[in-house]
Amino acid sequence: MSEDPAPVIVNQSLVEAIGWDSGINRSIGLGGDRQATIIGVLKDFHFTSMRHKIEPIMIMYRSGANSILSVRVEMSSISEVLESIEILWNEINEGIPFEFQFFNESFGALFDKEADFSKMFFRFTLLSIIIAILGLYGLAAFTAEQRTKEIGIRKTFGASIFQMIFMQYHEFARLILLAFVISLPIAIWIVGQWLQNFEYRIEAGILPYIYSAVIVLIVTSITVGFHALGTALKNPSDTLRYE
C-alpha cells in the first residue's frame, strides 16, 4: 500500500533546476515509491554563506523526525515569549533542558571569517597609515630644514609664502601621484581576486580608490604645509645665516 504524497515546500532554484515554469501542485520523487506534492514555492534565500550559490532545497514535515522548533516572535516581547515557551517546554519535556538560539546569530556565524578578516585588515591598514604619516612628517621636516637657506633667498627676492609652500608640496605631490599610479592596478587586482571567492558580490568601482588618493593628498598637504609654513615665516636674515 503506497503512502499518500507528502506535502513539501521548495525554493525557486529547485523549480528552475527541474525546468518547470511553476512547481505548485507538482509531484516529485523522494526515492523508491515515495512521492511528494509541492504545496508552496519560496523565493530563493541564503542558507549558506555568500561564497556559495543558492542551491535547490526542499522543506518537509515529518512527525517525530525534527528535533528543532522554529518560532517567529516580535523582538519587543522576546523576554515574555521565551519565558512562556520555557514553561510549556518543561511541561511537555520534563527533565530535558530548554535550549535556544537566535537565527540571526546562527546565520551571522557563517560570516565570522569575513568579519574577522575585515577587522584584521582594518587594523593593519590603520597601523600602515600611522607609520606612513610619521614617515611623511619626518621627511617633510628634514626637507624643510635642508631648504631653509633656499627659502630665505627666494623670500628675499619677493617670493610669496604660498609660492614657497607650493614649491615643497609639489615635490611630495608628484611622489604621491606616482605611488598611486603604481599601487592602483595592484589594489584593483587584489580586491578583484578576493571578491571572486563570493558567488554573490558587488562590483568594486573606481570611486573608493579615488577617495583614497584624495585623502592621502589632503594628509600630505597638511603635513608638508605645516613644516613649509613654519620655514617660510622665518625672518630671511635668520634663514640666510642657517648652516
Question: Looking at residues 179-183, what average pLDDT do you find?
Answer: 84
Q: Is pLDDT of 241 > 60?
A: no
pLDDT value for 64: 62
User: pTM surpassing 0.85?
Assistant: no
Q: Is pLDDT of 50 > 80?
A: no
Q: Is pLDDT of 127 > 80?
A: yes
* Higher-pLDDT residue of 188, 162: 188
Q: Is pLDDT of 9 > 80?
A: yes
pLDDT value for 238: 56
SS (H, E, C) the chain: CCCCCEEEEEEHHHHHHHCCCCCCCCEEEEECCEEEEEEEEECCCCCCCCCCCCCCCEEECCCCCCCCCCCCCCHHHHHHHHHHHHHHHHHHCCCCCCCCCCHHHHHHHHHHHHHHHHHHHHHHHHHHHHHHHHHHHHHHHHHHHHCHHHHHHHHHCCCCHHHHHHHHHHHHHHHHHHHHHHHHHHHHHHHHHHHCCCCCCCCCCCHHHHHHHHHHHHHHHHHHHHHHHHHHCCCHHHHHCCC
Question: Looking at residues 120-145, what average pLDDT do you find?
Answer: 81
| Average pLDDT score, the chain | 79
Question: Looking at residues 50-73, what average pLDDT do you find?
Answer: 77
Spatial CA neighbour of 140 closest among 73, 231, 206, 76: 231
Q: Is pLDDT of 16 > 70?
A: yes
Q: Is pLDDT of 140 > 60?
A: yes
Q: Is pLDDT of 1 > 50?
A: no
Question: Looking at residues 173-182, what average pLDDT do you find?
Answer: 82
How far does Cα 42 stand from its chain's mean position? Answer: 28
**Highest mean pLDDT pick, 9-18, 198-207, 227-236:** 9-18
* Higher-pLDDT residue of 187, 156: 187
pLDDT value for 201: 76
Question: Looking at residues 1-29, what average pLDDT do you find?
Answer: 83
Q: Is pLDDT of 240 > 80?
A: no
Poorest-pLDDT segment among 59-68, 98-107, 218-227: 59-68
Residue 73: C-alpha distances to residues 59, 76, 154 (Å): 21, 9, 75
Q: Is pLDDT of 239 > 60?
A: no
**By the 8 A CB rule, do 5 and 27 touch?**
yes
pLDDT value for 86: 87
pLDDT value for 101: 85
Percentage, residues of the chain above pLDDT 70: 83
